[in-house]
Amino acid sequence: MTTRLTAVYPGSFDPITYGHLDIIKRACQLCDRIIVAILVNPNKSPLFSLDERLEQIRHATRHLPAVQVDSFSGLTVNYARMHNARILIRGLRAISDFEMELQMAHTNKTLAPEIETLFLTTSNEYSFLSSSVVKEIARFGGSIDHLVPPEVAIAVSQKFTPHPASCPSSPVL
Ligand code: PNS
């Protein structure tokens, strides 16, 4: 009998980028099932609601049968245990990521010694890319088409487009 290898890829995904998708696709080559799990973090005010992010990731990964999309609150290792996942996937872009990621991996190891953190280095072309960079560019009207899937690019731009109804000088018809 072969054992199916399940991995959890946790994160905020606010929004999902081509960098995240690159990691997900490569993780699919290594594991049988990848659960992309959005942390519900009460201390953060994300640009996108949980439902919006779930939908964006489901749409962006619809061609990857090994991928499931879910959300969780609390400790990542507890979520991983609940789903029989032995691996946590994290992407590493640069040295600047390393300190924080190492601390997180060590913390998780003390909490759940049976779970391994697997770091995948992001492809060179996405080494600068983060959800924050995407939002920053869009906020100032720059193009993000090369950074996120088309539906996400539209959704991000809409968030930063002033709604006419909310403009005080709009005439009331
Ligand atoms: O996309 P992000 O914001 O870099 O993801 C961070 C995340 C969600 C992986 C991390 O904050 C996390 O695992 N939070 C859950 C709480 C937890 O398990 N903490 C212990 C490890 S420090």
DSSP string for 136-162 = HHHHTT---TTTS-HHHHHHHHHHHSP
Residue ranges per domain, the chain? 6-130
pLDDT greater than 80 at residue 164: no
pLDDT of 95 reads: 87
Binning pLDDT at 50, 70 and 90, where does residue 57 land? very high
Catalytic-role residue among 53, 90, 131, 135? 131
> What is the pLDDT at residue 42?
87
Q: Which atom of ligand 1 is nearest to the CA of 14?
A: 1
- Tell me which H or E stretch contains 126: none
Query: Is 159 marked active-site?
Result: no
Q: Which of 8, 12, 24, 103 should be mutated for ligand 1, with most atoms under 8 A from CB?
A: 12
Helix, strand, coil percentages, rounded to 5, for the chain: 40, 20, 40
The domain made up of 6-130 is a member of CATH 3.40.50.620: yes
Strand order in the sheet with 33-39: 67-72, 33-39, 6-11, 87-92, 116-121
From the CA of 16, how far away is ligand 1's center (Å)?
16
Mean pLDDT of the chain: 93
Tell me if residue 33 is catalytic: no
Helix-helix angle 131-139:150-160, to 10 degrees: 50
62-87 pLDDT, tens digit per residue, is 999 999 999 999 999 999 999 999 99
> Catalytic residue at 20?
yes
Predicted confidence band of residue 165 (pLDDT cuts 50, 70, 90):
low
pLDDT of residue 167: 53
pTM for the full model? 0.93
Asked if the model's pLDDT at residue 112 lies above 70, the reply is: yes
pLDDT above 70 coverage of the chain, percent = 93
In which band, very low, low, confident or very high, does the pLDDT at 2 lie, cut at 50, 70 and 90? low
Q: Is the pLDDT of residue 18 over 50?
A: yes
Q: How far does the centroid of ligand 1 lie from the alpha carbon of residue 164, in Å?
A: 37
20, 33, 53, 90: which one is catalytic? 20
Q: Read out DSSP for 46-78?
A: -SS-HHHHHHHHHHHTTT-TTEEEEEE-S-HHH
Please check whether residue 86 is in contact with residue 6, taking contact to mean a CB–CB distance below 8 angstroms.
yes
Any catalytic annotation for residue 135?
no
Q: How far apart are the first and last CA of the chain?
A: 69
